A and B are shown apart, each in its own frame.
Chain A
Amino acid sequence: MRVPLDWLQEFVEVRTGAEKLAQSLTMSGLEVESLEKAGRTAIFEIGVTPNRSDCLSVAGLAREIAAITGAKLSLRGEKPPRGEGRMAKAAKISVQSRARCPRYAARVIRGVKIGASPQWISARLAACGIRSINNIVDATNYVMLETGQPLHAFDLSRLGGRRIIVKTAEEGRSFATLDGVKRLLSSDDLMICDANGPVALAGVMGGENSEVREDTVEVLLESAYFAPTGVRRSSKRIGLSTESSRRFERGVDPNGVLSALHRLTALIVETAGGAPTEDWVDIYPKKIMPARLSLTASDVNRVLGTDLGAPKVASILKRLGLGVASSGKGRIVATIPTFRPDLTRPVDLVEEVARLYGYGEIEATMPKIVLSSIARPRCATEEEAVRGALIGAGLTEIVLYGFASEEVLAPFADQGPEPIRIINPISNEQGLMIISLIPNLVEAAKQNLMRQREDVRLFVLQKVFQRTKALDSIDEPRMVAGLVCGHRCPGAWERSKEAVDFYDAKLCVETAVGALGLSEDVIFQRGEPPAFLHPGRFAYVLQGNARVGFVGELHPDLARRLGIAQEIYAFELCFEKLAMSAQSRAPRYREFSRFPFVIRDIAIMLDDGVPLCEVEKVISDSGVKILDDVRLFDVFRGGSLPAGKKSMAISLRFSRSDRTLTDEEASSAHAKIVDDLSAKLGAVLR
């Protein structure tokens, strides 16, 4: 709400400077968002919170300033302007939807002359951010700004049957509002109608068909109280929020309807001439009475931690314009004026007391509470461990949106359940909740590659959104995913030419799994890969018999389609599954031999297709008890080797825990292993 200081000063004395006043307003709950100099006055831009409908007017703000500063308030006591001719003859008004329109007042002015507003009106409207239209419309806006009561002027000659009927619309009927837009109505929309149909969308906007034009000579002025939620529903459904609807949906003063009508009548007569009817219509069958609330000083002190006495509480409430009486035993009974519909419960009064007493005056204390063992989210510790490990492994952490566009998801969507759909995404982009971190992760890598990056090493640990078997529930498990491409050691000066491959990504998985203490539980296994991965450079990650993730190269054809020239290796793990099994698990120490060990290295030639794990299995199945450790230290192909063959160099370590090993023991163990490898795998010792 924008308001010029000189307009406020018509109603309240401001003794301090504008800056000081802005400060006081901000500190009592009306945040002054900006303060502009405008000639000899200043314009305040005030962020009025949705509960304070009373502060959407100059008079209401003046009342608030008076309460805060203690200055004298002088609101207009509007006398009804005199006129001629009976209203009943000029127009016929009826209200059918009493619940939606508790009060409807109207008056007619004949013989108006449409023209420009006087400068003082258009200047004030401009200061408040409202465009000047003509003297009639400007007067409705001016009085609305001043009193907070939205008003409307119809061209009476254009009202069919010179009638006003307030009722809900026919479902599906279309109606052109003042802004020239055709709106489709619902049976829940409250309409102002004439004999032929709607002429205004009640409380929101007037219609084109009854708008005041240059040739208008008689106007029907409307000042009404529409039920807040009804106006809000219409405004929401139609997607039209106006100065009027904003005020109605927050609640205007039902008992201020008439004085605003009088003020409007007087202003129009002043600026556009004409003669009002001698009386007016005021349909208000059930008067809305001020509410009463009672509270004690201890109710206030219990919430605030203050030590205020009842007189202090009563005096603050009085400053706000509330009627205050005492009902004995320190109980204060406050009568709430109808311009404060936000004050409905004793606790609302506690806030009023706190506001005017000053939040700054409340002493800061530390709570006294019984100690208890602090709870944390179930995988918080594991999350820290994995994040730390992956950062240590050279991956940079990213944060992804929880949703993605169809375009980004499509290449990865060959399997798995349908993602959950957002009904009203900002644009067609970002319309699906993610079920995997991979698509957005690859997209992030792609963006970096497009920005001239060569080496991209990223990881992300966050929630994805999956449907569960029970249709009405959604799982939000955390996943961890990562990706490497470019050089193996970015920034290295002597290994600068090595590029990443499958095993770099595999190390990331091993690092993450190792950080959870699960290295020995997890294996890598071939399988039918998803279409977005390279079938030959891919492995499922298994824990026990359950798949908990994968690691592999992004399919080169997909990379090509995405415009990515590098090989990209990615992994994704079900973080929560792993973390849950990591819990309550502590390392267990195993005795090691303190006697010297013997190392025997072997180099064997095998068929290229034999994986290391088979070699390791033969070695461990050899039954050699003194075998202590097996370590692969070289693999090569080509050179002097025949095609289809490879050489593996393996270091065997032997030891006994009770004594030093003899050379013969080591030799015979070594021989046994070599024999087994030869017999079972056709390995040839080189």
Chain B
Amino acid sequence: MIALKERILEEIAQLKRQAQAELGSVSDVASAEACRVKYLGRKGLITSILKSLKDVPADARPEVGREINVAKSIVESRLSELIPALGTAAIADSVSKQRIDITLPGRGMRRGHEHPLRRAMADVLSIFTDMGFSVHEGPEIETDYYNFEALGVPADHPARDMQDTFYVEGGRLLRTHTSPVQIHVMESKKPPICAIFPGAVFRRDNDISHSPMFHQVEGLMVDRHITMGDLKGVLSTFCHRMFGPSLAVRFRPSYFPFTEPSAEVDIQCVMCGGAGCRVCKQTGWIEILGCGMVDPVVFNSVKLDPKTYSGFAFGMGIERIAMLKYAIGDIRLFFENDLRFLEQF
């Protein structure tokens, strides 16, 4: 009987050594699984010995049983470490072989491009709306009254030469500036008025720096006690936000029939930083917008008392701003709609 017990214990020890050796050389999940079946499966070697425990004399069973369980748990615990590790290793191995060309472009529809004029316009509008300006629009086909007369430019006024006008049938014209919206707004609303007027305008002109259609943003602030100092404050803020906070801005006298005093605003040349270049004609300065205090003639047109109210107005060309901002040399590019141009924005 002792011999049986000894033989079984010897057999278990042998099995344990054999399993350990085998597990030690397992290199993939499949052979680890094969090991599990071989030792722990329903007909596995350890399972079989466990089944033969009933043949062991009762007094030896605890010891033999313990030895079998030790062997079983050694194999089990080894496998439970081995299988995930081998799984990870297997994925790591295959991942290491999966190399794609990451320089191929992303798949799907490419985004289109925003027109540079719309982009510049949106930038300008947001600077003013951030300051509290409302946005209004007016008609592009206008009457002589709104485009000229109400703004202090009667029929024989020399200032009409400043803007060569397209006329359409029925005595109307294509507005030459966004200033007529000033009149529309003041006719429909009492001060305080704090608004900008974006839109397309038209002049009979076509060359490298003039387009028969272009875009402007007009601005108007009217209330009691609005001063030229306020005009300087608002427009300096605009220039700094549009072109950079450290840029020098200057105001110099000019002439517009609908403002008095009138001014042009220059910024330090964005191309050369003020040193002088072709763009600023060596002056170091670039004209960016026209402005002034609302002329009493305009207040009279809309039946506001110039003794009670004062205000300022300004106007700028969006093409010019976009040309400076994006270093574009020819205004016609905006309207040629060449994708080689548009795709740069």
Is B a genuine binding partner of A? yes
Stretch at the interface among B10-18, B44-52, B69-77, B198-206: B198-206
Distance between Cα atoms of A420 and B112 in the complex (Å): 32
Closest CB in chain A relative to B233 CB, distance in Å: 4
The answer to whether B117 and A399 touch across the interface, beta carbons within 8 angstroms, is yes
A614 interface residue (CB < 8 Å to B): no
Contact of A304 among B156, B227, B255 (CB under 8 A): B227
Bound-state CA distance A393–B129 (Å) is: 28
Q: B334 an interface residue at 8 Å Cβ cutoff? A: yes
Judging by beta carbons under 8 Å apart, are A374 and B251 in contact? no
Interface residue ranges of A322-369 to B (CB < 8 Å): 345, 347-348, 350-351, 354-355, 359-360, 362-369
Among A106-114, A405-413, A490-498, the stretch that binds chain B is A490-498
CA distance A350 to B236 in the complex (A): 22
The listed residue (A250, A362, A403) touching B232 by CB distance below 8 A is A362
Indicate whether A360 sits within 8 Å of B233 (C-beta atoms), given known contacts A397-B118, A423-B168.
Answer: no
B55 within 8 A of A: no
Q: Take A49-B255, A350-B260 as given contacts and tell me if A491 and B134 are in contact as well, using a CB distance cutoff of 8 Å.
A: no
Contact A354 B228 (CB under 8 A): yes
**Is residue B42 contacting chain A, with contact meaning CB distance below 8 A?**
no
Residue of B nearest to A359 (CB): B251
Residue B35 is within 8 A (CB to CB) of chain A in the complex: no
A398 touches B115 (CB 8 A): yes
Measured between beta carbons, the chain B residues less than 8 angstroms from A490 are: 110
- Closest residue of chain B to A441, judged by CB? B337
Taking CB as reference atom, which chain A residue is nearest B264?
A: A31
29 contacts between A and B (CB under 8 A): A28-B253, A29-B253, A51-B159, A232-B158, A249-B158, A302-B227, A302-B310, A303-B293, A347-B260, A347-B306, A354-B261, A355-B253, A359-B253, A364-B229, A367-B227, A367-B234, A372-B194, A375-B135, A387-B118, A399-B118, A401-B212, A421-B168, A423-B166, A423-B169, A426-B205, A430-B212, A433-B168, A448-B338, A474-B141
- The 3 A-B residue pairs whose C-beta atoms are closest, nearest first, are A305-B227, A305-B229, A29-B253
Q: Assess whether B97 is interfacial by the CB under 8 Å rule.
A: no
**Which of A79-87, A274-282, A457-465, A542-550 lines the interface with chain B?**
A457-465
Closest CB in chain B relative to A368 CB, distance in Å: 7
C-alpha spacing A162/B133, complex, angstroms = 67
CA distance A241 to B161 in the complex (A): 11
Q: Which of A151-191 contact B (CB under 8 A)?
A: none
B159-180 interface (Cβ within 8 A of A): 159, 161-162, 166-170, 172, 174
Apart from A303-B227, A354-B261, A359-B250: 10 A-B pairs, beta carbons within 8 A: A50-B255, A250-B158, A303-B261, A345-B296, A347-B260, A355-B253, A369-B226, A370-B223, A376-B135, A476-B141
Q: Please tell me if B252 contacts chain A, counting CB pairs below 8 Å.
A: yes
- Stretch of B1-9, B22-30, B88-96, B101-109 at the chain-chain interface: B101-109
From B112, B158, B337, contact of A448 by CB (8 A) = B337
A624 at the interface (CB under 8 A from B): no
B149 at the interface (CB under 8 A from A): no
Residue of B133, B213, B237 touching A401 (CB-CB under 8 A): B213
CA separation between A368 and B212, bound complex, in Å? 38
Asked if B227 and A364 make an inter-chain contact with CB atoms under 8 angstroms apart, the answer reads no
Given A351-B262, A492-B107, A420-B293 contact (CB < 8 Å) = no
- The count of residues in chain B whose C-beta lies closer than 8 Å to any C-beta of chain A is 84
A472 at interface, CB cutoff 8 A: yes
> Nearest chain B CB to A300's CB is how many angstroms away?
10
Q: Is the CB of A391 within 8 A of B114?
A: yes
Residues of B within 8 A of A392 (CB): 111-112
Residue of A nearest to B189 (CB): A375
A27 adjacent to chain B (CB < 8 Å): yes
Closest A residue to B287 by beta carbon equals A31
Q: Which residue of A lies closest to B194 (CB)?
A: A369
Question: Is B200 touching A402 in the complex (CB atoms < 8 A)?
Answer: yes
Q: Which residues of A contact B (CB under 8 A)?
A: 26-29, 31, 33-34, 49-52, 228-229, 232-233, 236, 241, 249-250, 302-306, 345, 347-348, 350-351, 354-355, 359-360, 362-372, 374-377, 380, 387, 390-403, 420-426, 430, 433, 444, 447-448, 451, 453, 456-459, 462-463, 465, 471-472, 474, 476, 489-494
Name the A residues within 8 Å of B237 (CB-CB): 366
Min CB distance A278 to B, Å, is: 39
Number of A-B contacts (CB under 8 A): 251
Complex CA gap A399/B113 in Å reads 12
B263 x A359 contact (CB < 8 A): yes
Chain B neighbourhood of A33, CB < 8 A: 281
Shortest A389–chain B CB gap in Å is 10
Say yes or no: A444 contacts B167, CB within 8 Å.
Answer: no
Residue among A52, A380, A399, A423 having the largest count of chain B Cβ atoms under 10 Å: A399
B38 within 8 A of A: no
Q: How far is the CA of A34 from the CA of B205 in the complex (A)?
A: 23
| Residues of A with C-beta under 8 A to B169 | 420-421, 423
Contacts of B337 in A (CB 8 A): 398-400, 444, 447-448, 458
Q: How far is the CA of A457 from the CA of B166 in the complex (A)?
A: 32
B133:A367 contact, CB within 8 angstroms:
no
User: B112 near A457 (CB under 8 angstroms)?
Assistant: yes
Find B114's partner among A236, A306, A387, A444 (CB 8 Å cutoff): A387
A366 near B233 (CB under 8 angstroms)? yes
A433 CA to B112 CA in the complex, in Å? Answer: 28
Q: B254 — which chain A residues lie within 8 A by C-beta?
A: 29, 31, 49
- Give, as a whole number of angstroms, the nearest-CB distance from A345 to chain B: 7
Digitize B220-232: 1 where CB-to-A-CB distance is under 8 Å, 0 elsewhere.
Answer: 0101011111101
- CB of B117 within 8 A of CB of A451, answer no
CB contact under 8 A between A453 and B339, given known A29-B254, A394-B111: yes
What are the residues of chain A within 8 A of B234 when measuring CB–CB?
366-367
